[in-house]
Chain A
């Protein structure tokens, strides 16, 4: 029979289950448990509750792990998608930028004003006329009208 002074409280059963009691105290508890089937049931219930807590804990750890792994996968895919498109786009954008800048800054100077003159018809009562064509694209055509041909350096 258990010692009258020794009473199996919830706290003691829990401490016993958690392995926090040793020596004489442990022996006393074991004796008391053996003598009190209700307390033994309580101890068994602690065992089940503990198992459940452990299971829930493992499950939540697993969930966190899965969630993290999923996130990393999604994140990696997103990064891959994002980095691939801008890289390709960046290539074309760079080309476009170069072309536009070239067009904008060099174009007007390279493509100087064309002075090409197209003569559709001429009706002249001067003694003569001659066309002095420019040597370059930027030069200007001169229509020379004359009664004599001695005023041109050619």
Chain B
């Protein structure tokens, strides 16, 4: 006797599509403009480089290759600062050796976070460096050079939405 069969394949296909959509939903797509909420989180790692020892701190593994391009034998992570910066807001970070960093969040352009970075030394700001940069979400860049004792300060900036 013939019996009406339930079209199982269609049910399976629907479930399968739902699973695929679920996976797509969970996929960590790069940040898009709609993720931009007029603010970002800036992390600054304050690194001291000198020749007193040898080695790179384990916390600096992600930038170790880059640091080794510099002519120092030791790289120590001294401090980590993390602050949320609103669009148009300027945040100041006081670093070792009377060095200061000022960060201004300018906005989000072409898929990148736009920051104004100012590094100055001493109250009078005898030495100063100011730059406007654009960095990808989660990206890191380094500014190195301000003197600190027998070595230099290296600042690793990371910006996240």
Contact = CB atoms under 8 A, between A and B. Distances in A.
Given A113-B136, A143-B143, A153-B71, A125 B112 contact: no
Contact of B127 (A118, A125, A140): A125
Contact of A142 (B7, B28, B114, B142): B142
Interface residues of A, number: 48
Interface stretch (A28-36, A37-45, A56-64, A89-97): A89-97
Interface of B: 2, 7, 9-10, 13, 16-17, 20, 23-24, 26-28, 30, 63, 65-66, 68-72, 112, 114, 119, 126-136, 138-146, 152, 156
Nearest to B151: A151
Given A93-B17, A104-B23, A108-B28, 7 more contacts: A89-B13, A100-B20, A104-B27, A117-B139, A122-B131, A129-B129, A152-B70
A89, A115, A147 pick with most chain B CB within 10 angstroms: A115
A133 to B, nearest CB: 10
Interface string A111-154: 10111111111111110010010100001111111110011111
Contacts of A122: 129-131
Nearest to A125: B128
A111 B136 CA distance: 13
A107 B20 CA distance: 15
Nearest to B63: A140
A120 to B, nearest CB: 4
A117 B145 contact: no
A140 to B, nearest CB: 5
A64 to B, nearest CB: 12
Contacts of B142: 140-143
A82 B141 CA distance: 57
22 contacts: A86-B13, A90-B9, A93-B13, A97-B20, A100-B20, A104-B23, A107-B27, A111-B30, A114-B139, A115-B135, A116-B135, A117-B134, A119-B131, A120-B132, A121-B131, A122-B130, A124-B131, A126-B129, A129-B145, A132-B69, A142-B66, A152-B71
A145 B70 contact: no
